[in-house]
Amino acid sequence: AQSVTQLDSQVPVFEEAPVELRCNYSSSVSVYLFWYVQYPNQGLQLLLKYLSGSTLVKGINGFEAEFNKSQTSFHLRKPSVHISDTAEYFCAVSESNTDKLIFGTGTRLQVFP
Amino acid sequence: GAGVSQSPSNKVTEKGKDVELRCDPISGHTALYWYRQSLGQGLEFLIYFQGNSAPDKSGLPSDRFSAERTGGSVSTLTIQRTQQEDSAVYLCASSLHPGEYKSYEQYFGPGTRLTVT
């Protein structure tokens, strides 16, 4: 069965600092990988996705993630965060033929001035 | 254009009552998904509809939960004899037809917050 692990439930960081949100997955079949963001009192929005090809994926709002097959990881990074990046971030995996998403437990990014 | 809409936005019900939650997907999207977001369980997949195929119900937590999709568009999630542990935000998403080697973005609705008292 597929699973997604986000080890950090909360990540506090100061504005303009770099940040990495960790995500590890387990699956016995080919998967697609996603990062979603949920701003306070809003719905889920796709940040970026990995389907195939280049292992470095760039998304919206300056975020990027790198797929590492050997370490089964898909960590999310941003070189310089803003106050507006404060939100809950979810890593997710789906099998290649259904797209139903299995989510991690989420990481709350809190950016301080 | 219009996104995924869900109604009601909030629902408070008494334990033991039945509730119906509605989802209107984006026009032209053939795939529709229901998820549940709760404090204790995070975001969980519930059920998936794709065109005229039999739905994937593997995520439904009990037989009190059911869903249907009429005419390949609107979907209704029904919870019978609600329990307090059913309290959560129920999210609906839709996408274009997924397939091997191709994945389409799932667009999420704002959710229905269900509170069972």
CA distance B82 to chain A (A): 24
Residues of B in contact with A92 (CB under 8 A): 43
Question: From the list A51, A90, A99, which residue is nearest B95 (CB)?
Answer: A99
Residues of A in contact with B43 (CB under 8 A): 90, 92, 101, 103, 106
Q: Please state, rounded to an integer, the average pLDDT across all residues of chain A.
A: 91
Q: Looking at residue B99, what is its pLDDT? A: 60
Residues of A in contact with B109 (CB under 8 A): 43
Residue among A9, A98, A105 with most chain B CBs within 10 A, to mutate: A98
Residue among A42, A44, A47 with most chain B CBs within 10 A, to mutate: A44
Window from B51-55, B56-60, B108-112 with minimum mean pLDDT: B51-55
Q: Exposed, middle or buried, B40 (CB in 10 Å: 0-12/13-18/19+)?
A: exposed
Q: Which two tokens stand for residue B99?
A: 């397939």
How far apart CA B49 and CA B35 sit, in angstroms, is 12
Residues of B in contact with A107 (CB under 8 A): none
One-letter amino acid for residue A108 of the chain = R
Residue B59 C-alpha from the chain's centroid: 11
Kindly report, residue by residue over A54-86, the tens digit of the pLDDT: 889 999 999 999 999 889 999 999 999 999 999
Question: Stretch B46-64: mean pLDDT, rounded?
Answer: 91
- Give backbone dihedrals phi and psi of B8, rounded to 5 degrees, phi first: -75, 170
Local confidence pLDDT in tens for the 113 residues of chain A: 788 999 999 999 999 999 999 999 987 777 889 999 999 888 899 999 998 888 899 999 999 999 998 899 999 999 999 999 999 999 999 876 667 899 999 999 999 99
Identify the CATH assignment for A3-112 out of 2.60.40.10, 3.40.640.10, 3.90.1150.10, 2.60.200.30. 2.60.40.10
Q: Looking at residue B53, what is its pLDDT? A: 85
Query: Under an 8 A CB cutoff, do A51 and B102 touch?
Result: yes
What single string gives the DSSP state of each residue in B4-54? -EEE-SEEEE-TT--EEEEEEPPTT--EEEEEEEETTTEEEEEEEEETTSP
Share of chain B above pLDDT 70, in %: 94
Query: Under an 8 A CB cutoff, do B103 and A102 touch?
Result: no
Q: Is the dihedral of CA B31, A49, A86, A3 positive or negative?
A: positive
Query: Under an 8 A CB cutoff, do A101 and B33 touch?
Result: yes
Closest-CA residue to B43 (of B110, B79, B88)? B88
Q: Looking at residue A54, what is its pLDDT? A: 86
Q: Nearest residue on chain A to B48, judged by CA atoms?
A: A100
Residue B68 pLDDT > 80? yes
